[in-house]
Amino acid sequence: MAFSAFSQTIVKGKVTDATTGDPLPFANVVFVGTTTGITTDFEGNYQLKTSTPVDSIKVTSVGYQTKAKAITRGTTQTVNFQLQEDVTALAEVVVLAGENPAFEILRRVDKNRKYNDKRKLEAYEYDTYTKIEIDVDNISEKLRQKKTMRKITQVLDSVERMAGEDGKPILPMFISESVSKFYFRDNPQLRYENILHSKISGVGIEDGTLVTQFIGSSFQEYNFYQNWLNIVSKEFISPIADGGRMYYEYDLTDSMYVGDHYCYRLDFFPKSPQDLAFTGTVWITKEGYALKQIDVTIGKQANLNFIEKIKIQQELEKVEGGAWLPIKNRVLIDVSELTNASAGMLAKFYTSNKNFTVNKPHEATFYQHPIVMAEDARLHEEDSFWDTLRHEPLTDTEKNVYKMIDTLQNIPVVKTYTDIIKIVVNGYYDAGKIFIGPYIGLFAVNNIEGFRLQSGFKTSYDFSGRWVFGGQLGYGFKDERFKYSAFVQNILSRDRWTTMSVRVRRDIGRVGIDDEILADNYLFLAAQRWGVFRKGYYFDEARFNFQREVWKGFSQRIAFKYMTFEPTFDFTYRKPSEGGVYDTASRFQNAEVMIESRWARDELFVQDGNDRISLGTSKWPIITVRYTRGIKGIAGSDFSYNKIRLSFYKRVRFGPLGVGYMNVFGEYMFDQAPYPLLSPHLGNQTPVYTSATFNLMRYGEFVSDRYVGLQYQHHFEGLLLNRIPLMRKLKWRLLGTANLIAGGMSKANQKLVTANEEDGIGYLTNGKPYMELGYGLENIFKFIRVDFIHRLSYLDNPDVRKFGVLVSFQFSL
C-alpha cells in the first residue's frame, strides 16, 4: 500500500548524552532501511518525515553507541534518544592506494584560512548569552552511605532523574546565566566584555561579584583556526592546524547539507591517544572551505590529570567581511573522582552569540578594562525578567537545577563544609565584615623564636568598599618577643586601579629574603619562618605605598620604607667613609624611596572584593623596572645610595615541544652599603625544589652589588614519554631547568665587610657565572616532581653540593 502525502511518518525529538543529560548536536538520525536522514541541531533537536514505509529510526554519533527505536507508521510522534558513550577502542585506519581524499580538503581549508578566520577582521562585536552549570557526578555508593552524606540523601535521590532515563545521578552545585556585550579589535589586539546582567545560584556563593566576572564569554572562546588552543592551561593541536596530519588520522565519511551550506564531513582521531589532541568530527563547507561545525572530545587517555573528558561543540556562521564567527559554543569538562570512594564533577558551559557588527573598531581607550560588570548587573534575577533576555528558554532540567541548589543551600551540613572549603581556598575565615587569618601562618617553629603562634584579620568589602584595615599579632615562646603588623589601605579608584596604603611591622627576617620581590609567593614566605635562621635579624618597619594603573597594561608605583636592622648573628660592618677611616657597627637604620614601572600589555585582572587578582598574560611579557634611592639622615638613616633593578618574565609556547617559563633579571648598586642591603642571592639547602631559588647554592654563599640572572623551566608535557609503550600509561612528563647568575662586588663595597664576616659570604667573579642545569620528571602519582640538578661552577667552594636530587609537590592538570 502506497502512503499518500497525508499519511506521512513524521518523527521529531531530542538526542541527549545519557550521562550528563546534555543535548548532542550534529548526531546523525536516519530512518532504518532508507537514505532519509538529518543531523541534529545545536540543541540536539531533529525532525524527519517520509512517505516510505518505515518501522524504526536510528541515531549515530561519534564516540557514542548506536541506538535504534521502533516507530509507528503514518503518524506524527516524538521519539527522544539518550546515547551512552562508546568506550571501545577505535579501529585502525586502513590506508588504500592513492591519497586520502580528506587531505585535499584540509589543504583547501588551510589555503582559505586567511579569508575565513575571524582574526582577519579589524574588529567585531556581538551580543552574547552565557550559561554555566557545575554538578557533582559519579557519586559512589560508599560515599552515599557516609554520615555526612545521609543528610542530603533525600535531595540526592530526587536528582537521579535529571540525567535522563539511562543516566547517572548528578547533584547540581552551581548554575549561572549572563548577558553581555563583547568587543574585539586588532592592531593593537584588545578585547572588552561588558556584563550587563547576571544571575547566579550556587552552594557557597553569597556575593557573586568575582564569579560574575568569570561567567561571561571571555573565558569560553575557542578558535580552531589557531594551530594550538589553550584549554585548561594546556596546549592542544587543532584538527585543522596546518600541521595536523602529524598528529591525526582523517577519514572523509560523508557530505550533506548543514543548514544552507553543503558540507564535507571529516572524522579524525589522534595517532597517539596520549597526545594533547582531539577525537571528533568537523564539517567543512564546499564553498569557501570554511569551518561550519565542529564536535571534538578529549578522552581520559590523554596526558591530563583529573580529567575524564573534555567535549567542545561549536557552530559558526559567515558574517559581513567574509569571516566565520561562532554563534553557539558548548563545552563540557568531566573531572574524575580522586578515589573510588569520592565523587567527580561536571562543568558545563554554553554560549550563544548574535547581532554581529564587524570592522568598526572603537578607540583604544574604549577597551581599557577587559571585563566590566554593570553596577545593576545582579539586581534583576526574577524569572520573568530573564525570560526576555535568554536567547533560548531554560529546559525543565535547568529549572529544576535552580530549585535543587536553593534546597541544598539550606542544609546545615552543606553550609559547614562550604565554610571549610572557603577557609582552605582563601586562607581566611569569612566572619562577615572581617576575615580572620591567614591560617597558612598560624604557627611555625625555628631556632630563634622556638614555637611561634600568630593570628590576624583584615576587613572585607562588606565593611567598606574603599577602606581596608588589617593586622597580625604573633609571639615567639623562645625569644619571648611579640611581633606585629598593622596596615590601612584606601582604594582611590577602581576604574584605573589606584591604591594608597600605610603599614607598620615588627618581626624577624632572613638576610636575602626580599618580601617585595617574593610578594606573590605566599607559601615560600610562610615556609621561610621554619627551621634554622642563618643570618636572621629583628626589624621595625614603616612603609608607604601608592600605585596606579596609568593606562591599560602600564602601572606606576612609588613607595617609601624605613627599617631598623638588629642581627641575631655575629654581624659587623664598616661604615662608608670618604676619608678612608672606617668605623664599625652591628646595627643600622635605613630609609629609601622606590619608584617602579610595570608593563604587561595583555594582562587580565578580575576584582575580588577589595583585592585585584592577576590572571597573567597570554602573549606579551611582564617587564618591571625599579629604581631605589637610599636617603641618609631621615630618622637616623645611615646610608645614601642609588640602585636599579630590571626583570623580564614570559611564558613561551613551543607548540609540540611544550611550554617554557623564562625569568631574566638584573640589578645594579651604584654606591656603598653593607651587604644585607645589597643582593644576597637566594640559595636552597633543603631537599625541596623551589623555582625562586638557586637550588644547589648555599644560603648566603654569594652576595653581589651588580648582577644579571636567568631562571628557566621547560615542561615537555608528554612529548617523548608518550611514545614509549611501557611509560605512556604512567603519564609521566619530562622537564628541564637552567639557573645562572653572573655578577660581582665592587672593591668599595668589599671594604665594608669586616674580617669576621669574610668567611661567611662570597662574591661572584666577574666573567664567571654561577650555573646549574637540571632535568627531571613530573606528574609522578599526579602530584610528585623530582628534579636532578647539576652544579657546573664554583665547585671548589666549601661544602658544595655538586649534584642534588630534589623533590616537590605540585597540582597540575
pLDDT digits (tens, 9 = 90+) for 334-369: 887 766 666 777 888 899 999 999 999 999 888 888
pLDDT tens per residue, range 411-426: 666 666 666 666 666 6
Residues 6+ apart with CB under 8 A from 353: 126, 127, 128, 129, 182, 217, 325, 326, 327, 328
Q: What is the pLDDT of residue 605?
A: 78
Per the model's pLDDT, the better-predicted residue between 566 and 759 turns out to be 566
Q: What is the pLDDT of residue 141?
A: 66
Burial degree of 520 (CB within 10 A; 0-12, 13-18, 19+): exposed
Q: Name the residue among 316, 300, 333, 295 with its Cα closest to residue 132.
A: 333
Using the predicted structure, report yes or no on whether residue 327 has a pLDDT greater than 70: yes
Gap between the Cα atoms of 250 and 262, Å rounded: 19
Mean per-residue pLDDT, 671-675: 90
Task: Give 116's pLDDT tier (boundaries 50, 70, 90).
Answer: very high
**DSSP H or E run through 714:** strand 706-715
Residues 6+ apart with CB under 8 A from 410: none
Q: Where are the beta strands (DSSP E) in 654-769?
A: 659-669, 679-680, 703-704, 706-715, 733-744
Using the predicted structure, report yes or no on whether residue 167 has a pLDDT greater than 60: no
Using the predicted structure, report yes or no on whether residue 166 has a pLDDT greater than 50: no
Mean per-residue pLDDT, 74-85: 89
Q: Which of 256-265, 344-353, 374-383 has the lowest mean pLDDT?
A: 374-383
pLDDT tens per residue, range 493-546: 988 899 999 999 999 988 877 777 666 666 667 777 888 887 889 999 999 999
Taking residue 664's Cβ as centre, other Cβ atoms within 10 Å add up to 16
Q: What is the pLDDT of residue 541?
A: 95
Per the model's pLDDT, the better-predicted residue between 798 and 113 turns out to be 113
Q: Name the residue among 360, 403, 380, 309 with its Cα closest to residue 87.
A: 309
Mapped onto helix, strand or coil, the DSSP state of residue 82 is strand
Task: Looking at mean pLDDT, say which of 81-95, 679-693, 756-770 comes out highest.
Answer: 679-693
Per the model's pLDDT, the better-predicted residue between 785 and 96 turns out to be 785
**DSSP H or E run through 625:** strand 622-630
Gap between the Cα atoms of 290 and 316, Å rounded: 9
Q: What number of CA atoms fall less than 13 Å from residue 95's CA on the CB side?
A: 7
Task: Give 164's pLDDT tier (boundaries 50, 70, 90).
Answer: very low
End-to-end, the C-alpha distance of the chain in Å comes to: 61
DSSP label at residue 797: S
Q: Which of 131-140, 346-355, 514-523, 656-665 has the lowest mean pLDDT?
A: 514-523
The residue written with cell numbers 576575615 in the block is: 435
Gap between the Cα atoms of 414 and 210, Å rounded: 21
Contact 201, 431 (CB under 8 A): no
Burial readout 748-770 (b: 16 or more C-beta within 10 A, e: otherwise): ebeebbbeebeebbbbbeeeebb
Q: At what angle do helices 412-426 and 396-409 cross, to 10 degrees?
A: 90
According to DSSP, the β-strands at 9-17 and 76-78 are parallel
What cell does 30 get? Answer: 536516519
Contact 468, 491 (CB under 8 A): yes
Q: Which of 188-192, 277-281, 326-330 has the lowest mean pLDDT?
A: 188-192
Using the predicted structure, report yes or no on whether residue 647 has a pLDDT greater than 50: yes
Per the model's pLDDT, the better-predicted residue between 681 and 153 turns out to be 681
Per the model's pLDDT, the better-predicted residue between 722 and 206 turns out to be 722
Mapped onto helix, strand or coil, the DSSP state of residue 656 is helix
Task: Give 112's pLDDT tier (boundaries 50, 70, 90).
Answer: very high
Q: Which of 171-175, 213-217, 488-492, 721-725 has the lowest mean pLDDT?
A: 213-217
Q: Which of 456-460, 466-470, 796-800 has the lowest mean pLDDT?
A: 796-800
Using the predicted structure, report yes or no on whether residue 160 has a pLDDT greater than 50: no
Mean per-residue pLDDT, 156-179: 63
Gap between the Cα atoms of 208 and 405, Å rounded: 15
Using the predicted structure, report yes or no on whether residue 266 has a pLDDT greater than 90: yes
Q: What is the pLDDT of residue 216?
A: 54
Average pLDDT of the chain?
84
Per the model's pLDDT, the better-predicted residue between 339 and 614 turns out to be 614
Using the predicted structure, report yes or no on whether residue 92 has a pLDDT greater than 70: no
DSSP label at residue 385: H
Q: Between vectors from CA 586 to CA 585 and to CA 591, what angle results, nearest 5°?
A: 85
Task: Give 615's pLDDT tier (boundaries 50, 70, 90).
Answer: confident
Gap between the Cα atoms of 286 and 254, Å rounded: 12
Contact 566, 535 (CB under 8 A): no
Using the predicted structure, report yes or no on whether residue 397 has a pLDDT greater than 60: yes
Alpha-carbon torsion, ordered 149, 151, 157, 158, to 10 deg:
-130
**DSSP H or E run through 144:** helix 141-144
Mean per-residue pLDDT, 707-730: 84
Gap between the Cα atoms of 325 and 28, Å rounded: 24
Superfamily per CATH, domain 5-83: Carboxypeptidase-like, regulatory domain (2.60.40.1120)
Contact 123, 358 (CB under 8 A): yes
Q: Name the residue among 511, 512, 502, 510 with its Cα closest to residue 544.
A: 502
* DSSP track, 396-463: HHHHHHHHHHHHHHT-HHHHHHHHHHHHHHHSSEE-SSEEE--GGGSEEEETTTEEEEEEEEEE-TTT
Q: Which residues pair with 310 in a beta bridge?
A: 298, 333
Chain-centroid distance of CA 261 in Å reads 37
Handedness of CA 341, 404, 25, 167 (dihedral sign): positive
What cell does 712 get? Answer: 628557566
pLDDT tens per residue, range 195-228: 898 888 877 665 555 555 555 555 667 899 999 8
Using the predicted structure, report yes or no on whether residue 139 has a pLDDT greater than 70: no
**How far is residue 553 from each of residues 520, 559, 596, measured CA to CA in Å?**
18, 20, 14
Task: Give 5's pLDDT tier (boundaries 50, 70, 90).
Answer: very low
Chain-centroid distance of CA 582 in Å reads 54
Gap between the Cα atoms of 696 and 404, Å rounded: 55
Spell out the domain ranges in the chain.
5-83, 102-419, 427-616, 640-813
Using the predicted structure, report yes or no on whether residue 707 has a pLDDT greater than 90: yes
* DSSP track, 317-362: EE-TTS-EEEEEEEEEEEEPPSSTTS-EEEEEEEEEEEEEEES-PP
Mean per-residue pLDDT, 17-46: 86
Q: What is the pLDDT of residue 206?
A: 56
Using the predicted structure, report yes or no on whether residue 633 has a pLDDT greater than 60: yes
The pTM of the full predicted model, rounded to 2 decimals, is: 0.75
Supply the Cα-derived Rg of the chain in whole angstroms. Answer: 31
